[in-house]
Amino acid sequence: MAILVDKNTKLVVQGITGKEGSFHATQCKAYGTQVVAGVTPGKAGQKVEGIPVFNTVEDAVKETGANCSLIFVPPAFAADAIVEALDAGIEVIVCITEGIPVRDMMMVKDYMKKNYPNAKLIGPNCPGVITPGEAKVGIMPGHIFKKGNIGIVSRSGTLTYEASYQLTQYGLGQSTAVGIGGDPVHGLSHKDVIALFNQDPETEAILMIGEIGGTAEEEAAEFIKEHVKKPVFAYIAGITAPPGRRMGHAGAIISGGKGTAQAKMQALREAGATVIENPAFIGKTIAEALGKV
């Protein structure tokens, strides 16, 4: 089970002949993901580490039955690549590309909502999705994850690795870890992923890693309050971030007194989540709360 990706995932990698694309397609395959196809326009017939390359996503879907896409296309063309995957009927799209213009993402998200309301976009500017032991669809180092029952959702890549590593230290594995990305316009939100974990029988507890900026964490808190019975743990990064300065992620900015870490932590506490203040104790706190130490 788990969410989004599993052993039945058939992956097509868009931009597979590029440096990043070929490296990570190979890594995903080595982890055990079924990487069935690659796409680079004009390069049909080639192979990358034994993976057949097609001109279009549509061809790849027809020939191989691909049902999930991983995108490494450069920022100027990435929005188009997402549209191509949508039009080919792919329902789980993971876009790694960093630096896509916000306007492009705004247009794509609008198109997606109107035409493919069931499709799930993860990213852009994200590490991807991993269901340990089943499928890795992203750029994360597979070896720090362990099969288990904690669902993780986070905007940040390395912070996800940090949290998973800490959990693994305490013998707590992960059902699925989802990096939703740090851009202001992105696909699945914290709330969306928490809703998926809430329905997933393999997920026993949820760890949400948020950061300053926007209101996504507050919306997730609303949802948790209403719908989630599983234990939820939360950490919010950026308590020391000064207002008006963008902290790396395009979305991570406190503007007009909105999006502060304090406000987000408060909302999550009120929703019944356990808020972890010291990021070094994410693993320990969860292990203790679940009676695993």
Q: Contact positions toward another protein, by CB under 8 A?
A: 75-76, 99-103, 105-107, 109-111, 114, 127, 139-141, 143-144, 154-162, 165, 182, 184-185, 209, 211-212, 214-216, 219, 237-242, 245, 247-252, 256-257, 261, 277-281
* C-alpha–C-alpha distance, residues 288 and 291, integer Å: 5
Q: Give the rounded distance of the alpha carbon of 193 from its chain centre.
A: 9
| Minimum CB–partner distance for residue 248 and another protein (Å) | 3
Estimate the crossing angle of helix 102-115 against helix 75-87, to 10 degrees: 0
Instruction: Specify the DSSP class assigned to residue 142.
Output: G
92 versus 140: smaller Cβ distance to another protein? 140
Distances in whole angstroms, Cα of residue 117 to Cα of each of 49, 104, 121, 163, 248: 34, 18, 11, 31, 30
| Minimum CB–partner distance for residue 106 and another protein (Å) | 5
**First vs last C-alpha separation in the chain:** 26
Whether 249 sits among the annotated catalytic residues: the reply is yes
* C-alpha–C-alpha distance, residues 271 and 78, integer Å: 37
| Minimum CB–partner distance for residue 73 and another protein (Å) | 13
| Minimum CB–partner distance for residue 24 and another protein (Å) | 9
26 versus 56: smaller Cβ distance to another protein? 26
144 versus 287: smaller Cβ distance to another protein? 144
109 versus 225: smaller Cβ distance to another protein? 109
| Minimum CB–partner distance for residue 62 and another protein (Å) | 29
Q: Which of 248, 254, 236 is nearest to 99 (CA)?
A: 248
Q: Which of 24, 186, 190, 249 is catalytic?
A: 249
206 versus 253: smaller Cβ distance to another protein? 253
Burial 220-255 (b: 16+ CB within 10 A, else e): bbebbeeebeebbbbbbbbeebeeeeebebbbbbbe
> CA dihedral in degrees (53, 140, 191, 118; nearest 10)?
10
Known catalytic residues?
249
